[in-house]
Amino acid sequence: MSAAVDARLGVLTVVGLMVVTSLPQSEPTRPQSPPAPVPVLVARTVAIDDPGALLSLLPETIGARGVSSWVRCGEGLVGWGRALEFGAGGPARFAEAQSWWRSVMDHAVVRDDLLLPGSGPVAFGSFSFSPDSPAGATLVVPEVIVGHRGSRWWLTTIGVDSHLPGTLTPSAASPPDAPQDVTFADGSLSGAQWSTVVARAVERISSGEMDKVVLARDLAVDASAAIDPRWLLQRLAERYDNTWVFAVDGLVGATPELLVRLEKGLVTSRVLAGTIRRTGDDDHDLALAASLARSSKDLEEHEYAVRSVAEALAPHCSSINVPESPFVLHLSNVMHLATDVAGVLTDHATSLTLAASLHPSAAVCGTPTLVADAAISELEQMDRGRYAGPVGWMNAAGDGEWGIALRCGAFDDANPRQIRLFAGCGIVAGSDPASELAESDAKFVPMRDALTAG
C-alpha cells in the first residue's frame, strides 16, 4: 500500500482514499475556549464519460450565487449548489479563509479515483480588492463539481456530516434565456467626470507623488427580468475562449490575467499591463500590435506590473524566470502586453497564500502600492467590491489557480435583474484622459456584448 503526505495541509493519501488528519500542534500554554465544531466534509470523485461542454451542464433555476465556474478553452471546473461556504472581511480575510479551508480539510474524508488538479474537494473563492470593502471574501464548496482536463472528465459530489454525497449523471441543462430590455447607466461617475479624475491622477504622477495608479469606473445594468448567469458565462466563453471564464458567489466575468497558478510546486503568473483596442482589420491590428510593443508609456506601465509580481513571489520561490521583454496577447476586442513569470516553490505556501502575497499587484493598483492605493480610495469615489481582487479555486492540498477579477460584473444580491460592471486602466505620466476613457470603454465590451448580443 502506497502513501504520501502533503505537509502544507496534512493530507494523507492512501490508494485514492484520502483521510485528512491534523498536523501535530503544541499544547496550549493557557486555557482556551472550545473551538467551534468543524463540519466533516465527505467528497467522492469518479471518472465519467464526456458529458458535453462544461458550461452547458449548469442547471437552471440555481441563481447567480449558486453557480461556480473556472473554464478556459473548454477545460476547467464548474460547480453548483453549496455544501459549505465561508465569509470574512478586513485585512485578515485571506488568512482567515486559508485557516478555515485548512480546518475543513483536516477533518475531511475524500475518495478521489483520479488525483488530478481540480479533482477531489475544491473551494471556489473571490476576495475584495480593499480590506475595507463590505464585500469581503467568500469561499464556496459546491455540492457538485464537474471537471475537464485533456481527455479526462470527472465528477465530484460533496456532502457534509451525515449528508453523504449522492450520485448523478451530468447532462446538458435547458438553454438559458437571453437578458431582456437591458439598459446601461453611469455608475459612480460619468465618463466625463472619470476623465477629469484621470487628469488629476496624471498631475500627481507628474509631480512625483507616484509612478502609476490604476483607476476603475463602473456601469449600472438593469433588465426587465432576472439575468441568467449561465447566459453570460456561455456568451463569454464563446467570444473569449482564451480567458478564464469565472463565477463565484454572484461575481461573473472573463479575465485574461492569471494572478498565480500552483501545481505540484511550480508557480506561474501571467502579467498584463498596456492595452490597445482592436479594430477588426487584421493588417491594421498587426500594425497596432507593433506600436504597442514599442510604446514607451505602455512598456513603462508593464515594467511596473512585472516587477511587483516578481518581488512578491521572491520570498516563496527560487529560480524565478522573468522574460526580458513582453509579448502581445491578442484577445477578441483588445491587445495587451503580457509576460509569463515562473518559479519553483521553496516553502509551504498554498495557492491562496501566493495570491494574497501578490495582491494588489501594480497591474490593478499602481506603484508605490500604498500611495497608489490611497489615491484610488480618494479619486475613484466608489467601492470596487470584489472587482480586481483574486478569484479562482484551490484543492485539498492547496494547489489551484487564481486570476484577477477583471472584465466582470457583480450581481445585486437583492435584485437579480441588476448587475454592476467594472473596468479600469493603468495611469502613468504619459496617459491621455480621452484615450484612457476609450480604453475603459473597450474593456466593458465583453460584458456589454454578453448582456445584449444574441
Q: How many CA atoms lie within 13 A of 71 on its CB side?
A: 33
Write the CB contacts of 64 (distance below 8 Å, at least 6 apart in sequence).
227, 229, 247, 250, 252, 411, 416
Name the residues annotated as catalytic.
212, 257
Measured between alpha carbons, how far is 137 from 268 in angstroms, rounded to an integer?
A: 23
332-367: string of b/e by CB count within 10 Å (b at 16+)? Answer: bbbbbbbbbbbbebeeebbbbbbbbbbbbbbbbbbb
User: Which residues pair with residue 145 across a beta bridge?
Assistant: 79, 156
CB-side neighbour CA atoms (13 Å) of 281: 5
Whose grid coordinates read 491534523? 22
Please name every residue paired with 17 in a beta bridge, in sequence order, or none if there are none. Answer: 14, 111
Counting every residue written for the chain, the total comes to: 454
Phi/psi at 351 (5° precision): -60, -35
Helix (H) or strand (E) holding 135: none
Contact 93, 128 (CB under 8 A): yes
Amino acid occupying residue 143:
E
CA dist 309 and 406 (Å) reads 17
What is the C-alpha radius of gyration for the chain, rounded to an integer number of angstroms? Answer: 22
Angle at alpha carbon of residue 66, lines to 21 and 114, rounded to 5°: 45
The DSSP call for residue 163 is B
> Any residues with CB less than 8 A from the CB of 171 and at least 6 apart, and which?
51, 52, 57
The secondary structure of 211-266 as a DSSP string is SEEEEEEEEEEE-SSPPPHHHHHHHHHHH-TTSEEEEETTEEEEE--EEEEEETTE
The CA distance from 227 to 180, in Å, is 8
Question: Sign of the CA dihedral 122, 268, 74, 454?
Answer: positive
